Structure 1
Amino acid sequence: MTIEVTHEQQLVEHSSPQGRRRPWEQKYRIVLLVADSLAAAAAAFVIHAAYGRWAVALVLPPTWIVAMVAHRTYDRSALGLGTEEYRRVLRGAVALPALAAVAHWSFTHDSGLLHDMIMAAVPAAAIALSARYALRHRLHRRWARNRGRSATLLVGPAHGVAELVAVLRRGGVQELRAAGVCLSDPGNAAEVRKLGIPVLGGVDTMDDVIRAMGIGTVVVLPAPEFDASVLRRMSWTAAVRGVDFLLAPVLADVSAARLAVRPTNGVPLVRIQAPNLSRTSRLPKELLDRSFAAALLLLLALPLLLLALIVRLDSTGPALFRQQRVGRYGDHFTMFKFRTMRPDSEALRAELEHLNQNSDGLLFKVKGDPRITRVGSFLRRSSLDELPQLINVVRGDMSLVGPRPPLPEEVDGYPAEVRRRLLVKPGLTGLWQVSGRSDLPWEEAVRLDLAYVDNWSTSLDLSILARTTTAVVRGTGAY
């Protein structure tokens, strides 16, 4: 046994992880270093133009790079990920004045330089974040062309693999490319093959597959057969071949910000932070929602009046459609939309029940619905029919971002776990809207809403608002 373990250690020590390293990583890191240096130099030039001092130009670039390195902005765990990468840059920017203060009191005693370094933190962060945003989008465009992606081997049960593949494909462009699967239950291979991914054998063939396929990443999913010793041997195999080894958690839809490793007597336990649902934590969101919605209503007052007039001229009936919806904690409220259907639409619903696109759940959606008016069809495709909900946001019934506002009859049919989506206000936009809207099956819409409730943060809201514009332009699932 001693000889076998020693041989394993030698293989790990002499293997070359560089050979399997993500092909874009080293170049991307160098470009980031150059971009950060230029951002610091540009910020120093701004400060020089404002105050006429050159010393900051010599001190700021190396100090900025040190701050970025200290906050691990170049670690492979953050590269190309977006939110986490930006968060680390901001932490480094906040630390920059502290570094400058320490240098001032310990070495320079130059109050002018201290002032300049503090003032330079804002433009340096703004330029660096803009550069990283542009570089990240360039990287994602490369991935969209299937360049630089990591060939990934999925290991686990067929059902879990199928679920993970569905999530990866719905999540947009990302680095991992499912190249094949090693199943713990080969008898269920048909469930994976129908997704167009080759089944390359069982768990015992993992080493051969990695070597033959040029695999760069191994993702292992939970399975009853995978105890600690099996997972340990898998990680050794990945280490020998120099590939990334990732474990998919048993509990899905938990954001990385809620996870932390807590070592206890040598055992790395994963702590899952409770969702942040207190009224105090949501007070800034409440204030921002109402003030921003009020500003938009004032800005769009004339266009909204024009749309209301067009709706009235196109067909008989009121311009606004009012409907009872369920808000936070199950409270009912009247939701406003521009009317897009004939006045007798509710009476005709029973005749169209057999055409429901969401027959697997509680939603009622019909493509080519004959009840929709000519103007209503345009309003739905462009999502302009949703704009009157800004009134609901100002009144406090809704939020700018949140789960879809359900009907009372839908809520009556909710199982206990789905009622959790009522812990927050419904939103004018949300995760389900930017992920496919009416094209999503009921289970997926629920999963996204519950994921939003559990993982809410200001950065998530901003991300959804940014993606909403793209979703509206595409018109995917809007009918």
Structure 2
Amino acid sequence: MTEQLKSRPPEVGTSTGGRDWRAKYARRLAISDLVALIWVVFGVQIAWFGFDTQNLSIRGEIHSLAVSYTAVSILIIASWMLLLGIYGTRGYRVLGTGPDEYKLIANASIRLFGLLAIAAFLLHIDVARGYILIAFPLGAAVLVFSRWIWRQWLRGQRQNGSYSSRVILLGSQESVVRIARELAREPYAGYLVVGACVPVDASLGHLPGSQIPVFHDGLEGVHIALKATAADTVVVTSKQELPPDRMRELSWSLEPGQQHLIVVPSLTDISGPRLHTRPVAGLPLIHVETPRYEGSKQFAKRTFDVIGSGALLILTFPLMLVLAIMVRLTSAGPVFYLQERIGMKGEPFHMLKFRSMRVNADAELSALLEAQGTDDRPLFKVQNDPRLTRVGGFLRKYSLDEFPQLLNVFRGEMSLVGPRPQREGEVALYDSSAHRRLFVKPGMSGPWQVSGRSNLSWEDSIRLDLYYVENWSLAGDLVILWRTARAVAAPNGDAF
């Protein structure tokens, strides 16, 4: 069991904000949304019309009707709040993690704008276009920003075990340990494991290597666990021990609206957009789309890389010129360092970096890896590397030595985002799963660089890289780039 499970022991009876945390948090979001919309809509009205009373005209066949823009603003705010509720933007399933919360806000705002445009056309309403065209995008942006602020607060609360679903895991011991480890890895997702029901002797007390209490796996054991730990969610981690009739009995026995049932499918590391559920003959069939690495997706990624790397080369040129001078003046040797790496489909290329080590540093690598006992692992990182130059440590700390790789991206050898390119010796240690990293171009940054950087184990690093390869999206690349910028601005360890 990982250190994460050991460091956050769930205690029976510990308060997590009560079972009404969902309603409490939703009420706070509703108040925040209302304040944001009042501020935006009335602010735009005052900015556009001033403090003078203004009316819009609804033209009929015989006469027209004048309506105050204040009434229109109130109607827009009320309709906006209604659609935010209808679209489930404050539902606990979308809060705290993932992009769904923001997507629902955007969808609700777009629908409201469309309905208003249709109503204006059909009823011949002469509405000020500038007032509408400013209020809607600004309102949506402020709503998203407000939710982002709330999300930071919620993540902090969940790190301490509050505002989270208290979870009982039900399944085989192996699957329970695996799911507990994954949920502990991301506490901000809002699932706090407080107990486990496994088909072993409950006298064992706790899951191996953790402080998670163990209960019997029968229906009675589940309800004992729910009561003893004040849990509100049962997560079924494997179905071998739970046939359909027992699953149905379990779902019937839970308290409606207060206790929840979640089933973990056997599928792992597959993103939501690739999964589609379709009920057929009473069976919840899950369709999984096969990942594709060609066509429009490849074109979109390459276009993004060319535009992004070209813009960044122009913007960072003065900084790179300064860094080149620093490297040249502080140590003997060339400014740039070329190293052969393995790219997409196993094709080698020369990756460009600012030199951060003394000349002939590669000749010392094997001895250093052997000395620290990591020469048999595919992640060739030397701790407290003695080969770094005076300015090299600074370049590594803030990942400034990576900037010349923008040229590799522009030339098409790399991508802005992707699995980090590795040496031939590291690739030679790949197993069949790790070789899937080579299905896409290597990147300047990638998922494991923003999820722990060099502090992750090889197993965790390859898991994150494979998830990226299987579930690539342009929106995901933008998120990784944003998190990369934050990681570079506040470094917490070794460089990429």
TM-score by length of 2: 0.85
Deviation at 1:90, TM superposition (A): 0.9
1:275 aligns to what?
291
1:141 aligns with 2:138: no
Aligned partner letter, 2:28: V
**Structure 1 segment 41-56 matched on structure 2, within 5 A:** 41-49=38-46, 51-52=48-49, 53=54, 54=69, 55-56=71-72
- For the 8 Å contact 1:104–1:114, the answer to whether it is kept is no
For structure 1, which runs of at least 5 residues remain unmatched after alignment? 1-18
Distance, in Å, in 2 between the alignment partners of 1:231 and 1:135 is 36
Letter in 1 for 2:191: L
In structure 2, relative to structure 1, the CA distance for the partners of 1:172 and 1:397 (3 Å cut) is farther
* Aligned residue in 1 for 2:252: 236
Structure 2 unpaired stretches of 5+: 1-15, 55-68
Deviation at 1:58, TM superposition (A): 2.6
| In 1: Cα distance, 2:342 partner to 2:179 partner | 32
Q: Structure 2 matches for 1:108-127, cutoff 5 A? A: 108-112=123-127, 116-117=131-132, 119-127=134-142
Q: Shift of the alpha carbon at 1:125? A: 0.6
Contact 2:206 2:214 in 1 (8 A): no
Question: Does the CA-based 8 Å contact 2:396-2:494 persist in structure 1?
Answer: no
| In structure 2, distance between residues paired with 1:330 and 1:121 | 48
Cα drift, residue 189 of structure 1: 6.2
Question: Structure 1 residues 247 and 356 mapped into 2: Cα distance closer, same or farther (>3 Å)?
Answer: farther
TM-superposed CA distance for 1:131, in Å, is: 0.8
Q: Which range moves more in the overlay, 351-360 or 242-251?
A: 351-360
Q: 1:25 pairs with 2, 5, 22, which one?
A: 22
Alignment of 1:213-292 (within 5 A): 213-239=229-255, 242-292=258-308
Q: Which residue of 1 aligns with 2:32?
A: 35
Distance in 1, matches of 2:389 and 2:455, equals 21
| Paired residues of 1:439 and 1:476 also in contact (CA < 8 A) | yes
Give the stretch that moved more between structures: 358-367 or 434-443.
358-367
C-alpha separation in 2, matches of 1:86 and 1:333 = 39
**Aligned residue in 2 for 1:407:** 423
Q: What is the deviation of 1:192? A: 3.2
The alignment partner of 2:167 has SS state of strand
Instruction: Write out the 4+ residue segments of structure 1 that deviate beyond 6 Å after TM superposition.
Output: 187-191
Q: Deviations over 1:36-95 (max 9, x none)?
A: 223333332354245425253132102212322332212222123341100111111221
Give, in whole Å, the separation in 2 of the partners of 1:202 and 1:266.
26
Moved more, 422-431 or 197-206: 197-206
Q: Which of 438, 441, 449 matches 2:457?
A: 441
| 2:75 match | 59
Q: Which AA in structure 2 matches 1:217?
A: T
1:385-424 residue pairs with structure 2 within 5 A? 385-424=401-440
Summarize deviations over 1:270-297 as a string: whole Å, max 9, x none.
2223335333124333223222222222
Rounded Cα–Cα distance in structure 1 between residues aligned with 2:256 and 2:22: 20
Alignment of 1:61-80 (within 5 A): 61-80=77-96
Asked if the contact 1:314–1:374 (Cα under 8 Å) also holds between the matched residues in 2, the reply is: yes
| 1:22 Cα offset (Å) | 4.2
Q: In the alignment, residue 343 of structure 1 is paired with which amino acid?
A: V
**Cα RMSD for the two superposed structures:** 2.8
Give the one of 377, 382, 398 matched to 1:382: 398
Deviation at 1:449, TM superposition (A): 0.5
How much has 1:99 moved relative to structure 2? 0.9
Sort the Cα spacing of 1:81 and 1:21 in 2 relative to 1 into closer, same or farther, 3 A.
Answer: farther
The correspondence for 1:182, drawn from 197, 207, 227, is 197
Deviation of 1:354 (Å): 2.3
Q: Please give the secondary structure, in 2, of the residue aligned with 1:300.
A: helix
Q: Which residue is 1:13 aligned to?
A: none
State the 1:356 CA deviation: 4.8
What corresponds to 2:324 in structure 1? 308
Paired position in structure 2 for 1:3? none
With over 3 angstroms needed to count, the CA separation of the structure-2 counterparts of 1:43 and 1:443, relative to structure 1, is same
* Counterpart AA for 2:89: T
Q: 1:347 to 1:79 in 2, by over 3 A?
A: closer
Query: Measured at CA, do residues 267 and 118 of structure 1 come closer, stay the same or move farther in structure 2, by a change above 3 Å?
Result: farther
Other-structure match for 1:161: 176
- How high is the TM-score relative to the length of structure 1? 0.87
Q: Following the alignment from structure 2 to structure 1, what is the Cα–Cα distance between the partners of residues 385 and 24?
A: 51
Partner AA of 2:76 in structure 1 = L
Point out the structure with the larger helix share: 1
Give the partner amino acid of 1:24: W
The answer to whether structure 1 residue 197 and structure 2 residue 198 are counterparts is no
Compute the displacement of 1:434 (Å): 1.0
Are the structure 2 counterparts of residues 155 and 285 from structure 1 closer, same or farther at C-alpha, using a change threshold of 3 Å?
A: same
Judge which range, 92-101 or 278-287, deviates more: 278-287
Give, in angstroms, the shift of residue 336 of structure 1. 0.9
Which deviations, in whole Å up to 9, do the C-alpha atoms of 1:164-218 show, x marking residues without a partner? Answer: 2332233353311111222234599699331332333444522111112111222
Shift of 1:323: 1.1
Distance between the aligned counterparts of 2:310 and 2:363, measured in 1?
35
Relative distance call for 1:188 and 1:113 in structure 2 (3 A) is farther
Q: What is the distance in 2 between the residues matched to 1:327 and 1:301? A: 25
Asked whether the equivalents of residues 155 and 203 of structure 1 are also in contact (C-alpha less than 8 Å), the reply is no
Change (3 A) 1:221 1:188: farther
Check 1:184–1:314 CA distance in 2 against 1; reply closer, same or farther (3 A cut). Answer: farther
- Equivalent residues in 2 for 1:349-360, closer than 5 Å: 349-356=365-372, 358=374
State the alpha-carbon separation in 1 of the partners of residues 278 and 107 from structure 2: 22
Residue number in structure 1 paired with 2:103: 87
1:355/1:154 Cα in 2 relative to 1: closer, same or farther (>3 Å)? farther
Within 2, Cα distance between the matches of 1:397 and 1:461? Answer: 17
Aligned match of 1:317 in 318, 321, 333?
333
Q: Distance between the aligned counterparts of 1:173 and 1:20, measured in 2?
A: 15
Identity of aligned residues (%): 35
* Structure 2: distance between partners of 1:403 and 1:35: 39
Q: What SS does the corresponding residue of 2:30 show, helix, strand or coil? A: helix
C-alpha displacement of 1:358: 4.9
Whole-Å separation in 2 of the counterparts to 1:104 and 1:375 = 63
Q: CA deviation at 1:400?
A: 1.6
Deviates more, 1:468-477 or 1:211-220: 468-477
Residue 118 of structure 1, CA deviation: 5.0
Q: Deviations over 1:337-382 (max 9, x none)?
A: 1222222222222222324575663121121122223322222222
Aligned match of 1:132: 147
